[in-house]
Every structure is written in C-alpha cells, then in structure tokens.
A = this chain, B = another copy of it.
Amino acid sequence: MKEKIPPLQLCKCLALLLIILGLSACAHFNAHDNDDRYQGGTGDLGLIIERTEGSVLLVNTSQRQVIKRIQGLGDLSHASIVYSRDQRYGYVFGRDGGLSKVDLLRGEVVKRVIQAGNSIGGAISQDGAYVAVSNYDPGGVNIFDSEDLDLVASIPATRVTQERAEKGSKTVGLVDAPNNRFVVSLFDSDEIWILDMADNDPASGLQPKITRFTQIGRQPYDALITPEGRYYLAGLFGDNGMAKLDLWRPQAGVQRIMPAYGPGEQRLPVYKMPHLEGWTQAGRYLFAPGVGHHEVIVIDAYDWRIVRRIPTYSQPVFVMAQPDARRVWVNFAHPDNDRVQVIDVESLQVVNTIEAGKAVLHMAFTPKGDQLWISLRDDNRVDIYDPYSMQRSGSLPATHPSGIFFTDRANRIGL
C-alpha cells in the first residue's frame, strides 16, 4: 500500500498542484502606477513568517495571493508581528532580539534594530505611539518610538540569582492594555508588572509608571489578555492554576484561579509549551490548551471555573475561535502536528478531524471569518479553508511558513 498512491489521493494532489500553480501565476507586486508602492487598501493584507529564511510573505486575502517576499529579517523562529495604527507598517519581533519595521505599501524593511540578545515578542500601545519588546537576555522591556524605532525607555527586570550569577529576570507575556498600558510577566522573579504610558511626564523623558505585583505564582511562562482588555491571565510553569489580574481593579491584586489547570499529577511530557495567545473566547467560554494533556479546557469567563475537558487528538498548541464564535480550531504539538480538530461551541464536541498536512504551525482567520489560513511548515505551503464547509479552498506556496498575522490586529486590544 505504501508504494501505490490511491486514485483519490492522486486527484487531491493534482487539484492542489493546480490551485498552487494558478495562484502563483497571478502573484505580483504591481498593483501600482508610477512608483513601486502597493496601491490598495490595507484592510485585507497580512504577513506570514518564513522562519528558516528570515523573510516574510506579504499576502492579500481578497485575491488570495502572495504579493511579495520581504527578506533580511534575521532569526524568525518564534517570531510575531504587531501592526501600526494605520495598518501600513508591521513590527516583526525576531528571536535574535531583532525588531524590524516592515512597510507593507513599499514591500520592504524600512528600519531594523537589534535591541537585545534574545527576545520573545512584543506589543504596540493603544495609541500606536510605542512598540515594546520583552527580552530573555538581558531581561526587561525595551520601549521604542513606533515612528523611527528610537529607544525611548529601557526598563530593567528584577535581578535574580541563577547558577551563582546575577541576571535580569526573563520577561514574557507582554501585551498592550487599555488606557495606553503594557502588562508583562517576569518568569524568574514571579511577578506581573503594569507599565503605564498614559501618566508619563514628558519633561523627564519617558518614564512609565510601573505597578509591581509580586509572588503571583511560580514561573509565569506566557500570558494573554481577554479581548476587551480587562483580564490578564498568566500561565504558571512552576505552579498549578493561573494568575489573574483584573485591570479594572488592580488594587485587588493578583488572584490564583483554576487550580486544576496546569500539568497536574498525571502529567505527560510537555512537548511544546502551549501558546496562551492561542487561548480564545467564544461567547461566555474561554477555550484553552490543556497543558501536557490531550484535551482542550473550557472555562466559564464569569466565575473562572473549568466547565468541560474536551478530549483531543494530542496536546493542543493553538486553540482559535472563529470570529463568529461558532467553532474552535485546534492544532497539536510535535509529533502529532499533522492534524487539525474542530470543536463545535454549542455541543462542546469535536466535530471534525482534518488531515491538514505536515507540521501545522499556526492558524489565522480573516477578520470577519470568511477564510481560515493554515501554515504547513514541512509541506512548504499555506492552505486556505472555508471555515463553514471545513473544506480547503486554496493554497499558496511558502518556505517553511509559521506565524500568520493579518492587519486587523491593528484594531484589536492585546494583539
């Protein structure tokens, strides 16, 4: 059986090839007149990380095509992107500490700074003025002017002693929050900090007011903020449960919720720490990867209790709700990263298991949810699905694609 390709399989392969060829043929970067700018609106654009190439693909979701490959972005393993207020620029956070500003209209890198030795993501302030980066090495948070990427504040992390040396705590789970704040977790010092850019005194340079919450639980490893920007939730590597900060009532401090969330007693080896950005809210429920378990956890966002554990194919990595909250799509950790499962939000059941391809690394819905894009790293392509029929409707070639970031993130708190 291994030698023979079944006819249906062959048909599928040919169909896919035709789709790829068709789409490649019309890929271009010349929707412009007499200069080399892209001349359309920016509402249907996105960037896709090509992790091994140090490049991003500029894509258009209306024409469903690659507009241009933009190169020279350094080490993009674990890279992420936020967008400027006007959606013209993407800020790419590389693992090598690189922060790059990409102009979507010109299709080029306009500025690039190496701002630390090893970084793990960033955020843009609500007003669009500041880009913040959280760093592993040397720890802390650097804040840049979003226009020119000039460093405007460098916030050192709490010092910790590790292996007899003193260093700054790694910072993780950096997000933007309403009223021009950033929130970040400190892995090594068990803290959550609010960095307030709103009450800044321009006379003394940028000095964000820092509110520190200590002993929030051991080793916060990532965090998320709920879609409206009220609750900041940090996952704990060294404790069960999660640390919750209500940004409407910071004076109430950080609370521990969901003691049953986390590795627990019967833990499986954790092949990949799930992304908390992969959490998702659909109506009153939050859907989260069960850390080290083959399950998706359903949490009631009103009382923070776990209401269901949905068995899944393997250990979930990203758990993404359709914009219409009707279904939740899940991908899995290595070596089971060939499939995607679909959960029905009403019945809380898995309703479909899709053999998507080799190494599903990320998924992203178009803003109103008419398309789902899935990156298949080891198949060197990005597939487009109709979320309603759950059928593949297109495919684009890409070199080891990972994260997919559409420009509507510019309009969303915490993204």
Interfacial residues, chain A to chain B (CB-CB below 8 A): 33-35, 37, 39-45, 60-62, 83-89, 104-105, 126-128, 178-180, 198, 228-230, 248, 282-284, 302, 322-326, 346, 367-370, 388, 407-408, 410-413
Contacts and interface: CB of A to CB of B under 8 A. Distances in A.
Most buried by B among A41, A104, A283, A323: A41
Contact of A35 (B34, B325, B388): B34
Give the number of copies in the complex.
2
Contact of A284 (B41, B180, B302): B302
A123 to B, nearest CB: 12
A230 B325 contact: yes
Chain A interface mostly? loop
Nearest to A43: B87
Contact of A324 (B33, B105, B230, B411): B230
B284 A284 contact: yes
Given A42-B42, A86-B44, A127 B228 contact: no
Contact of A413 (B39, B60, B179, B324): B324
B283 A228 contact: yes
A178 B87 contact: no
Contact of A126 (B41, B346, B369): B369
Nearest to A104: B41
Contacts of A410: 43, 367
A26 to B, nearest CB: 16
